[in-house]
Amino acid sequence: MKKKFNLINPQYAPRSWFVLFNTLFFVFLMAAMIIPIFKIFCDSMVNETVYGLKLIPKGFDPNTGKEVWFNTIAYKRIVTDPGLYKPFLISIYTTLMTTFLGLLISTLGAYVLIQKDMPGVKLFSYMLLFTMIFNGGLIPTFLVMKNIGLLDSLWAVMLPMSMNVYNLVLMRSFFEGIPVSLFEAAEIDGCTPMGIFVKIVLPLSKAALASIGLFFAVAAWSEYFHYVIYIKSSSKYNFQYKLRDLFQDKQESDQGTKINVNTLKSAAVIVSIVPFMFIYPFCQKYFMTGVTMGAVKE
């Protein structure tokens, strides 16, 4: 007869304390991630400067002189600003293109690196891993972009972000977990190497494509630094850069309505993370599988 799970029972005490510790640890970790986001959301709903931890979206509205709940004036300012429409489309375009190029480069590169009989495959692997530790630096990279004529072009943002060795290594680890017998069977049936890649490798790699694609998309959507360095024309700035311009002054004014700059900052943070809050649930089942890809070899 199976004994009940009991903290008092010495037989189950080590396991019980381990489970209890893990539960408390993950509850603490979850609170450490959720509370700051919820605090920022509450700050974006009160048109005043909030000091300390305030988790109730209730504040004094200086325009009406009343205490209100869920003041959406900062969100209205962001949504109704016509200057944010084109940057929003630019962010969508660069995110999609960076994700596509990143997946294309990562999958093709990873497929090449798993070809054990290819001459120099170990040398190529070591060269790629070397770039994860050392890179050319900011000034040499800027000079390269200038010499190849990519300054003030969106390609200067998309190309460097699509070349991520870490994601390539993750994809290679996943490809190495595919049974070799599938490749051999395809070769016997007369399938070409590119045919194997398209018909066998990619269909079996949905989890890896979803998780790594999410990495590329999040990085491209949140990008700001490359626009500061390489982009000069204000018409090519993305959504994140333009959001920052909203609160450069200490106080924003829109048709006589005063908006607190801290409220506007909090609303900008929430708006910038909203798209992936809706996308992630649809990719969660693939992402959870992709997190452990390549961890176990048979």
Stretch (H or E) spanning 257: strand 257-260
Q: What pLDDT score was predicted for residue 255?
A: 45
> Residue 174: pLDDT band by 50, 70, 90 thresholds?
confident
> Residue 28: pLDDT band by 50, 70, 90 thresholds?
very high
Q: Which of 156-165, 246-255, 277-286 has the lowest mean pLDDT?
A: 246-255
Q: What pLDDT score was predicted for residue 14?
A: 61
CB contact set of 13 (below 8 Å; sequence gap of 6+): 7
Q: What pLDDT score was predicted for residue 250?
A: 45
Mean pLDDT of 192-208: 87
* pLDDT above 90 as % of the chain: 16
Q: What pLDDT score was predicted for residue 157?
A: 92
Q: What pLDDT score was predicted for residue 63?
A: 59
> Residue 257: pLDDT band by 50, 70, 90 thresholds?
low
Q: What pLDDT score was predicted for residue 192?
A: 87
**Which of 218, 85, 244, 223 lies closest to 154 in space, CA to CA?**
223
Strand-pair category, 66-69 with 58-61: antiparallel
Two tokens at 126?
């070591």
What is the per-residue pLDDT across 178-190, written as a single tens digit (0 to 9) for each?
Answer: 888 888 888 888 8
CB contact set of 115 (below 8 Å; sequence gap of 6+): 121
Q: What pLDDT score was predicted for residue 187?
A: 86
**Which of 99, 98, 84, 96 lies closest to 271 in space, CA to CA?**
84
Q: What pTM value is reported for the model?
A: 0.78
For the ranges 30-39, 249-258, 284-293, the maximum mean pLDDT occurs at 30-39
Q: Is the pLDDT of residue 245 over 80?
A: no
- The per-residue pLDDT of the chain, averaged, comes to 80
Strand-pair category, 251-254 with 58-61: unpaired
Q: What pLDDT score was predicted for residue 90?
A: 93
Q: What pLDDT score was predicted for residue 101?
A: 95
Q: Is the pLDDT of residue 1 over 50?
A: no
Q: Is the pLDDT of residue 127 over 60?
A: yes
Two tokens at 6?
């009991």
Mean pLDDT of 23-45: 87
Q: Tell me the fold of 84-246.
A: MetI-like fold (1.10.3720)
What is the per-residue pLDDT across 56-111, written as a single tens digit (0 to 9) for each?
Answer: 766 666 656 666 667 777 888 888 888 888 999 999 999 999 999 999 999 999 99
- Where are the chain's structural domains? 10-77, 84-246
Q: What pLDDT score was predicted for residue 275?
A: 83
